[in-house]
């Protein structure tokens, strides 16, 4: 359970807003729960229900003081740094909720500062934003508690693909990732919080390290799956090869089917057009002009086919394991050449006959068809 969820749970159990926030962090701060509840009990409802500074903010400040606070009376540096931290926490709370004062957060008008607490009914939780406020305060504390200052030395070009540790996956999308990732050296890794429930650890974290693999896995496997680059590469190669083989088979079947369909269509078309071209010839058209009509028809068909393929690719319908950006142009060129060869090879015999057409034989065929 995250700290935000823990704080919300405490509040819905009946603890006040300040108790809910401090109570979520009591164990981490080395404070027993009863002491934490007593210490923060006075700050609920904006300090004793006076609707002043929100109890969630007070609880957040108390937790920050227990973890980072100074104790020497002449520690001006410590005092300055701590006040700076407190003001930053307040600003972060304002960024989320606009105010830090209870009456403003609740939208209260007039004087509603009775010392009698409201009954915790279903209607109470519907009307009050307090559950979300204690969650916000806990999230802000977590972000502050485990923030690490790092120097960004470079940003990989977009789009950058990288291997994602998935083991043996049947889906290549889970192996090659485009989501944000962080590449760090081993000096930063030990600064990760000891409890993964208290921190927002990046989804993909790549560690450049000479540390022992088994030691790293034993220490940090609670954050998620940890896998060596060599193991990831081997898994990717095995998985992607299987996908490529299956997709290649489908592609070959598609090519053969396309050739059969085009061949059948051209044979039927040539039979149907013999009479038409004979009539065209009788009214004055030359045979080579008939050939140009056929070539133009093929060109228009190729244009529409190429346009359809481009549209399918634009909307992602042709994305495959092996279809990278570098291969896409080559694929289109090969496909276009293939279509041209199939179209013109299947109709070449018909075009040849058309150029060497015997008008007498054409007339006989025309009369026989009638």
Residues in the chain: 370
Same domain, 139 and 167: no
Percent of the chain whose predicted confidence (pLDDT) is above 70? 62
Q: How far is CA 23 from CA 5, 122, 136, in A?
A: 12, 23, 14
Same domain, 221 and 259: no
Same domain, 141 and 25: yes
Flag whether 234 is in a domain. Answer: no
Q: Are 145 and 7 in contact (CB under 8 A)?
A: no
State the residue for tokens 């090969």: 334
Q: What is the pLDDT of residues 25-44, one digit of tens each?
A: 999 888 999 999 999 999 99
Same domain, 310 and 217: no
Same domain, 122 and 215: no
The reported pLDDT for the residue numbered 361 is 64
| Number of domains the chain contains | 3
pLDDT by residue for the chain (370 residues), tens only, comes to: 789 999 999 999 999 999 999 999 999 888 999 999 999 999 999 999 999 999 999 999 999 999 888 889 999 988 999 999 999 999 999 999 999 999 999 988 766 678 888 888 888 888 889 999 999 999 999 887 655 566 677 776 666 666 655 544 434 444 455 455 566 555 555 555 544 444 444 555 566 666 666 776 666 665 566 667 777 777 777 777 777 777 777 777 877 787 787 777 777 777 677 777 777 777 777 767 777 777 787 778 777 777 777 776 676 655 555 555 666 667 777 777 777 777 667 666 666 666 666 666 666 665 554 4
For residue 167, the SS3 value is coil
Flag whether 258 is in a domain. Answer: yes
Answer with the one of 227, 258, 275 that is the final residue of a domain.
227
Tokens coding 357: 């057409």
Same domain, 46 and 122: yes
Between CA 332 and CA 312 the distance in angstroms is 12
Q: Classify burial at 135, counting beta carbons within 10 Å of its beta carbon; exposed 0-12, middle 13-18, buried 19 or more.
A: buried
Flag whether 94 is in a domain. Answer: yes
DSSP secondary structure code for residue 152 in this structure: -
The reported pLDDT for the residue numbered 167 is 44
Q: How far is CA 55 from CA 102, 108, 370, in A?
A: 8, 16, 98
Tokens coding 88: 């930053």
Flag whether 13 is in a domain. Answer: yes
Domain span at residue 79?
A: 3-145
Same domain, 358 and 285: yes
Phi, psi of 208 (to 5 degrees): -90, 110
What residues have CB less than 8 Å from 175, skipping those under 6 apart? 163, 164, 166, 169, 235, 236, 239, 240
Q: What is the pLDDT of residues 361-370, one digit of tens each?
A: 666 665 554 4
Q: How far is CA 83 from CA 64, 89, 242, in A?
A: 10, 10, 59
Q: Classify burial at 57, counting beta carbons within 10 Å of its beta carbon; exposed 0-12, middle 13-18, buried 19 or more.
A: buried
């Amino acid at each position: 359970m995250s700290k935000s969820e823990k704080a919300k749970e405490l509040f819905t159990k009946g603890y006040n807003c300040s108790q809910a926030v401090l109570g979520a962090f009591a164990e981490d701060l080395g404070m027993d729960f009863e002491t934490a509840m007593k210490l923060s009990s006075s700050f609920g409802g904006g300090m004793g229900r006076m609707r002043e500074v929100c109890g969630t903010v007070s609880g957040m400040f108390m937790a920050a003081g227990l973890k980072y606070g100074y104790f020497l009376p002449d520690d001006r540096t410590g005092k300055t740094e701590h006040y700076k931290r407190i003001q930053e926490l307040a600003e972060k709370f304002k960024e989320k909720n606009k105010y830090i004062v209870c009456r403003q957060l609740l939208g209260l008008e007039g004087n509603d500062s009775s010392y009698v607490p409201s009954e915790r009914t279903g209607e109470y939780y519907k009307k009050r934003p307090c559950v979300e406020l204690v969650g916000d305060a806990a999230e802000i504390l977590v972000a502050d508690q485990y923030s690490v200052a790092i120097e960004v030395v470079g940003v990989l070009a977009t789009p950058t693909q990288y291997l994602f540790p998935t083991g043996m996956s049947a889906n290549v999308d889970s192996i090659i990732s485009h989501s944000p990732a962080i590449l760090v050296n081993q000096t930063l890794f030990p600064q990760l919080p000891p409890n993964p429930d208290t921190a927002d650890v990046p989804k993909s974290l790549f560690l450049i390290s000479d540390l022992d693999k088994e030691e790293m896995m034993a220490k940090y496997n609670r954050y998620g799956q940890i896998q060596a680059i060599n193991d990831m590469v081997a898994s990717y190669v095995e998985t992607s090869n299987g996908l490529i083989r299956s997709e290649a088979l489908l592609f070959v079947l598609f090519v053969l089917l396309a050739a059969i369909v085009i061949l059948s269509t051209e044979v039927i078309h040539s039979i149907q057009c013999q009479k038409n071209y004979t009539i065209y010839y009788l009214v004055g058209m030359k045979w080579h002009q008939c050939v140009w009509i056929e070539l133009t028809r093929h060109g228009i068909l190729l244009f529409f086919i190429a346009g359809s393929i481009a549209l399918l690719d634009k909307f992602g319908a042709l994305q495959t394991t092996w279809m990278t950006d570098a291969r896409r142009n080559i694929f289109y060129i090969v496909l276009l050449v293939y279509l041209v060869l199939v179209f013109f090879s299947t109709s070449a015999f018909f075009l040849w006959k058309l150029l060497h057409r015997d008008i007498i034989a054409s007339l006989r065929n025309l009369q026989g068809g009638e």
